[in-house]
Structure formats: structure tokens, C-alpha cells
């Protein structure tokens, strides 16, 4: 009599659902305080446009010093400033056609100087003949000094700290993709080349959801961004379920045996092309860019002629990424799903004989892996404004490099590999031309694998790795 199958597959799916619910609650607890903490700052794009009016309004003054930028009511921004000829503080108020992700947020609707409205002729020339010129960009007096810096440091240290802050999103993105690659590799013993495209899927889905919400009149960055994240992650997990059920399981050997290599590799390439082409049809050949919604940030440190600025939105997305990574590692270490994954990764036949359903396990892990890849794409869209339909290919290969460097099949090693690759790329971009960082990354991988074929936590003998 064949051994009775346990409900480990269904339990795995339930773990995924509970994981997603706990993640969303935890992410909300992370995101909301950071968004609210950044809300007293004016929208950086609207504040910049308003500041650019000052040199045209006071062309005879030798210097204009911006003291404070703060949001007002009805899509307005208030700029408190002083001129070189007058030590008295003045107030410039600009009202725009929208806020947040609204396309009308850059449409200047009204101007007031010290509470006095601007005439129609002057308003027309300022808006149409000044703001649209390069002279206005060059004459921008700059933003106010955002709060008091926590510490004063040497300039080189401040520049290095700014590079570290700027690298945080990429660190989380590569760690997510490397972790997704390692999860699938642990079960089927083969790499899946499509995770970069699933990142693009998550990013483009987030863009389209935000555009749809703006059309419905929901342009708040917190609400629109949160709903876009939830929708994109749900879509990514759904694609993972379909991929696991319709592609990975039928092509794997099943019944505790490892999958053969060529069909899965060919299927991964075919899935990459199919998802990429679907994204091209959904978004178009160009990139759907969202309106910039960053505030003016926090001033963390200062140096002579240089301030270290951190964006609350950037820190929020970094917190979301690492919360998802840590929750995944905890899930795979403590839960029944994680124990089933480790058992199947070590000896799939023995795990199957012990009652672990390999089909349901593979489907559940596939959904989790694509959810993590989709979160990487959402991070790109919400941090940088958009993602090209083919932008995930090289990103996915870089995530694969990170997983191999960490010791592919090792979840903690994959995360460490992502951190190492991101740190190397950011260091390279700070010291050398950024155009060559992918070449430098692949060169680093080659050298690392020659010196240590198993990666950080892989097999000492590189021949054990299946490709």
C-alpha cells in the first residue's frame, strides 16, 4: 500500500497565505510611520518649481536664501525666503492642479507673494516663458536646509554615507531576487531565468495600478502606493502558482527524483520571453513613468558644502524589502513548509516517502518565490518611478549571480550574495564609470568562483552544483 499523503501541500499554501497577511500587516506598520514622518515636508517637485520662480520675481538681488518649504492646503506649497537686499522674511505661495501621483501636480494654477495674488499677464509669463527655460533651472536658489543634522563629519565620510544610503534599495532588490532563485533551485536543482521578468511584472503592474487609481481620483502616495503594492504582489503570486502547476511540476521528474535539466532551462527561457512580450503589450515599448512624489527628505549629517539626505519613502521601501526577506527566512526555518522544503531539497525521494507532497510543495514555493521577485519590481517602481518591459532581464541575471556567489541552494547565502553584489556595484559606481559595473560584476563572479567554486555557503566541490 502506498504511503498516505499528508496535507503538507495544503498546509504550505496556508503558510503562504498567513505569511502574506502577516507581511502586509507588518509592512503597513513600517510604511505608515515613515510616510507620516515625511509628510510635513513639501512635495519636492512642487517645491522645486515654486522656488524656481524666485529669481524671476527678484532679479536684482544678488542672493536668495530659502528658509523653509512646507505644504499648504489645496495642493499648495509655501516657500519662506529672504533676499540679499532685505533681511525681512517673505512668503511665496504656489498652488498646483493636483497632488501625489496626479498628472496635474506640475500644473501651476496660482501664485501669491506675501499674500498678494499675481496678475494674469505676470502669471502667464512666469509660467510659460520662465519655468519652461533652462535659465530657470540654473537659477534655482536651492532647497532649504532640512532640519538640523544629527552629526557633522568630514566631507569624504559624508559622501560615502550618502552612497551607502543610495545603495540600500538595490541591496534589497538583489537579495530578494537571489532568495527567489535559491528557493526554486532547492527543489528542482535547476535555475529559473525568469525571475527578472517577474520583477518587471511586479513593477509594471504597480505602475498600471497607480495610473488606474489616479484615473479614479485616488492620487495620495500612501493609498495609491499601498494598493499598488498589494495588487502587484497578488498578481506575482498568482503567476507563481500557475508557473508551478503548469510548467515546473509537469517538467520535473516528480516522485522524489530531481528534474532533468534541459526542459526546465528551455522552459525558463520561454517563460522569460513570454512574460516580457506580455509586459510589452500591456505597457507599450516605452516606460510608463509615475509622477515623482518624494518629499524633501531628512538631513542626517552635514559636512562642509554637503548634506547627507535620506528620503522617508526610500527608507520605507528598504524596510519593506528586508522585512519580507527576514520573514521568508524565518518561515523557511521555523514552519512546516520550511521543514518540508529542506527535506525535499536534501533528499526528495525520502521526503516523498515520508508523506510530503512534492507537487503542492513546489507550487507553494513557486508562489512565494515570484511574490518576492514581484516585490523587487514594486520597489523599483515606487522608488524610481517606473520600469521598462525588458528591464528585468539583466536584473534577474544579477540576482542569479548573487545566488551563485552565496552558494546557490543556500537561502542565507543567497541573501548575503545579494548584499555583496550590491555593495560591490555601488562602490564601483562611486569610484569608476557606472556604465561598466555589470562587466565588473561578471568579472568578480568569475574570480570568486575560481577561488571558491561553491560560493560563500555552497559545496566545496563546485561539481555538485547543477546548472
**Whole-angstrom Cα distance, residue 454 to residue 458?**
4
Average pLDDT over residues 24-33: 56
Average pLDDT over residues 87-101: 87
Confidence of residue 444 (pLDDT cuts 50, 70, 90): confident
**Whole-angstrom Cα distance, residue 205 to residue 92?**
38
Residues 6+ positions from 314 with CB-CB distance below 8 Å: 165, 168, 169, 383
Which pLDDT tens digit goes with each residue over 319-365?
A: 889 989 988 998 898 888 888 998 888 888 888 888 888 889 999 99
Residue 74, classified by CB atoms within 10 Å of its CB into exposed (0-12), middle (13-18) or buried (19+), is exposed
With contact defined as beta carbons under 8 Å apart, do 32 and 225 qualify? no
The pLDDT of residue 151: 79
Q: Considering only CA atoms, which of 109, 91, 90, 89 is closest in space to residue 46?
A: 109
With contact defined as beta carbons under 8 Å apart, do 383 and 290 qualify? no
Does residue 119 surpass a pLDDT of 60? yes
Does residue 464 surpass a pLDDT of 80? no
Does residue 228 surpass a pLDDT of 60? yes
- Candidate from 32-36, 45-49, 68-72, 363-367 with smallest mean pLDDT: 32-36
- Candidate from 37-46, 99-108, 155-164, 302-311 with smallest mean pLDDT: 37-46
Domain 8-36+157-464 of CATH type 3.40.50: no
The pLDDT of residue 458: 62
**Whole-angstrom Cα distance, residue 438 to residue 194?**
19
Does residue 106 surpass a pLDDT of 50? yes
Domain 44-138: CATH architecture, name and number where available: Roll (3.10)
Does residue 449 surpass a pLDDT of 70? yes
- Residue 264 phi, psi dihedral angles, 5° rounding: -70, -40
* Sequence spans of domains, the chain: 8-36+157-464, 44-138
With contact defined as beta carbons under 8 Å apart, do 408 and 181 qualify? yes
- Candidate from 62-66, 78-82, 219-223 with smallest mean pLDDT: 62-66
The pLDDT of residue 85: 76
Beta strands in 114-157 (DSSP E): 116-117, 151-152
Does residue 297 surpass a pLDDT of 80? no
With contact defined as beta carbons under 8 Å apart, do 210 and 101 qualify? yes
Amino acid at each position: 500500500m502506498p504511503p498516505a499523503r499528508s496535507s503538507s501541500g495544503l498546509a504550505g499554501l496556508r503558510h503562504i497565505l498567513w505569511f502574506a497577511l502577516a507581511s502586509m500587516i507588518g509592512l503597513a506598520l513600517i510604511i505608515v510611520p515613515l510616510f507620516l514622518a515625511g509628510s510635513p515636508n513639501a512635495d519636492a517637485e512642487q517645491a522645486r518649481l515654486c522656488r524656481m520662480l524666485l529669481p524671476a520675481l527678484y532679479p536684482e538681488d544678488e542672493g536668495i536664501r530659502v528658509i523653509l518649504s512646507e505644504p499648504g492646503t489645496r495642493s499648495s506649497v509655501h516657500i519662506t525666503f529672504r533676499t540679499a537686499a532685505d533681511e525681512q522674511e517673505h512668503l511665496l505661495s504656489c498652488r498646483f492642479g493636483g497632488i501625489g501621483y496626479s498628472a496635474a501636480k506640475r500644473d501651476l494654477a496660482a501664485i501669491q507673494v506675501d499674500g498678494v495674488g499675481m496678475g494674469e499677464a505676470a502669471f502667464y509669463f512666469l509660467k510659460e516663458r520662465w519655468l519652461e527655460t533652462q535659465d530657470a533651472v540654473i537659477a534655482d536658489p536651492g532647497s532649504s536646509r532640512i532640519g538640523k543634522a544629527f552629526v557633522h563629519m568630514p566631507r569624504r565620510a559624508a559622501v560615502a554615507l550618502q552612497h551607502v544610503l543610495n545603495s540600500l534599495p538595490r541591496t534589497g532588490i538583489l537579495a530578494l531576487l537571489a532568495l527567489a532563485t535559491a528557493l526554486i533551485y532547492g527543489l528542482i536543482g535547476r535555475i529559473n531565468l525568469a525571475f527578472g521578468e517577474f520583477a518587471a511584472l511586479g513593477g509594471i503592474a504597480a505602475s498600471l495600478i497607480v495610473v488606474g487609481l489616479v484615473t479614479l481620483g485616488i492620487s495620495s502616495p500612501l493609498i495609491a502606493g499601498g494598493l499598488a503594492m498589494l495588487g502587484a504582489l497578488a498578481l506575482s503570486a498568482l503567476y507563481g502558482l500557475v508557473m508551478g502547476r503548469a510548467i515546473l511540476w509537469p517538467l520535473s521528474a516528480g516522485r522524489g527524483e530531481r528534474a532533468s535539466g534541459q526542459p526546465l532551462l528551455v522552459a525558463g527561457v520561454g517563460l522569460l520571453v513570454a512574460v516580457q512580450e506580455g509586459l510589452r503589450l500591456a505597457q507599450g515599448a516605452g516606460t510608463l513613468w509615475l509622477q515623482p512624489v518624494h518629499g524633501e527628505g531628512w538631513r542626517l549629517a552635514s559636512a562642509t558644502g554637503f548634506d547627507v539626505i535620506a528620503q522617508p519613502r526610500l527608507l520605507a521601501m528598504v524596510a519593506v524589502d528586508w522585512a519580507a526577506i527576514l520573514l521568508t527566512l524565518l518561515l523557511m526555518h521555523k514552519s512546516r513548509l520550511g521543514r518540508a522544503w529542506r527535506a525535499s531539497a536534501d533528499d526528495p525521494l525520502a521526503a516523498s516517502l515520508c508523506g510530503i507532497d512534492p507537487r503542492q510543495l513546489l507550487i507553494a514555493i513557486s508562489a512565494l518565490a515570484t511574490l518576492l521577485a514581484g516585490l523587487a519590481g514594486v520597489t523599483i517602481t515606487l522608488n524610481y518611478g517606473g520600469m521598462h518591459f525588458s528591464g528585468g532581464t539583466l536584473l534577474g541575471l544579477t540576482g542569479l549571480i548573487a545566488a551563485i556567489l552565496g552558494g546557490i541552494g543556500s537561502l542565507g547565502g543567497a541573501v548575503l550574495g545579494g548584499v555583496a553584489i550590491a555593495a560591490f556595484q555601488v562602490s564601483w559606481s562611486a569610484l569608476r564609470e557606472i556604465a561598466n559595473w555589470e562587466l565588473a560584476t561578471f568579472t568578480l563572479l568569475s574570480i570568486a568562483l575560481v577561488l571558491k567554486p561553491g560560493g560563500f555557503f555552497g559545496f566545496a566541490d563546485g561539481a555538485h552544483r547543477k546548472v
